[in-house]
Structure 1
Amino acid sequence: MSAIANLKIVAAKRPGALPQIVQRRNRLIAQIWEQTELAKAQQAGTSFAPTKFRSVKDAETGERRNVEMQKRIRAWWWTAENGRIHMHVKYGAKTLELAKGKTAIEIGTLADLIPTLDMLKAAIVAGELDAQIDAVSDQMRSGFISKK
């Protein structure tokens, strides 16, 4: 018996591109992953500094090359006046409105931050924040449209 006979062969077509909302969800999930890693590092007393590649031009030769740099990540959470931790959810530079007129989540303690981020990630995967993501991305996109 051949090895290929043991495999399940099907007729399938690979999709061209992901739908726009799925791409936006994935972007927000990646940002939540960064916030989770930042929170874990803060609890452990270490630093979290992911890297990114940036294209720079050499002044002498005029040649472009990619340089690895540290990516700056700002924490979405802060301590409020009552001593409890609050957190915004950001999509790009904009804050998502989670409920009508409400943009922050009250977490409590720093130990509850990572489970809250995990619940938020599950809500995004389920599509619960699609309307808010669309609203913010439309608002961001309108800033790039030239007015004649």
Structure 2
Amino acid sequence: MSTLNSLKLVAVIKPAKLPPVVQRRNKLSDKIWEQIQLAEAKSNGGTYAPLKSKRLKDLEGNIKLLEVPKRIKPWWFTAPNGKVCLILRYGSKVLEIAQGKSAIELDKPAELIPTLQKIKTAVEAGELDHLINAATEAVRMGFKH
């Protein structure tokens, strides 16, 4: 019993599900993590294609579960001036970081991975919640019309 006495015991109830804002944060954080993996793979000359499960019917009508590569599009591109531009996306919506500005300009491609890591930290801290909510509302408005 002395071992249990050395632990900090608390009375807590596990929430049934996470609040929607935390779910959205986690979704964006996961997508940024994928972009970091893709950027690291491209900088090393490789490819990054995680596998996803897909159900397909064969000729007899049996459903089979196959592992297929997941297509991940990079959120960055090289601008005509030679600088790298990074766009943040939530689903299919581009996040407008500041009024009228939706891209982050980087001087060198080497700055891409540290910038993505900073953004991921900001998302997990809740600094981009207002942008995520705006994108969510835009999607909702599309369904109302």
TM-score normalised by L of structure 2: 0.91
Question: 1:119 is matched by which residue type in structure 2?
Answer: K
Tell me which residue corresponds to 1:127.
Answer: 126
Q: For residues 91 and 4 of structure 1, what CA distance do their matches in structure 2 show? A: 45
Q: Alpha-carbon deviation of 1:49?
A: 0.6
Alignment match, 2:45? 45
Alignment partner, residue 86 of structure 2: 87
Amino acid at match of 2:46: T
Post-superposition offset of 1:67: 1.6
How far apart, CA to CA, are the structure 2 residues paired with 1:96 and 1:135?
8
Other-structure match for 1:70: 69
CA distance in 1, matches of 2:29, 2:102: 18
The residue aligned with 2:9 is 9
TM-aligned CA deviation for residue 138 of structure 1: 1.5
- What displacement does 1:6 show? 4.4
In the TM superposition, what is the alpha-carbon distance from 1:68 to its structure 2 partner? 1.1
Counterpart of 2:36 in structure 1 is: 36
Report the secondary structure of 2:85's partner residue. strand
The alignment's TM-score, normalised by the length of structure 1, stands at 0.90
TM-superposed deviation, 1:8: 3.3
Q: Give the share of equivalent positions with the same residue, in percent.
A: 48
The aligned counterpart of 1:23 is: 23
- 2:114 paired with 1:139: no
Q: CA deviation at 1:3?
A: 4.8
5+ long unaligned stretches in structure 2: none
Cα deviation, 1:1-53, whole Å, max 9, x if unaligned, reads 56545443321111111110110010000000000000000110011111111
CA RMSD of aligned residues (A): 1.6
Q: What 5-or-longer segments of structure 1 have no aligned partner?
A: none
Aligned twin of 2:108: 109
**C-alpha displacement at 1:64, in angstroms?**
2.7
Q: Would the alpha carbon gap of residues 66 and 143 (structure 1) be closer, same or farther in structure 2, given more than 3 Å must change? A: farther
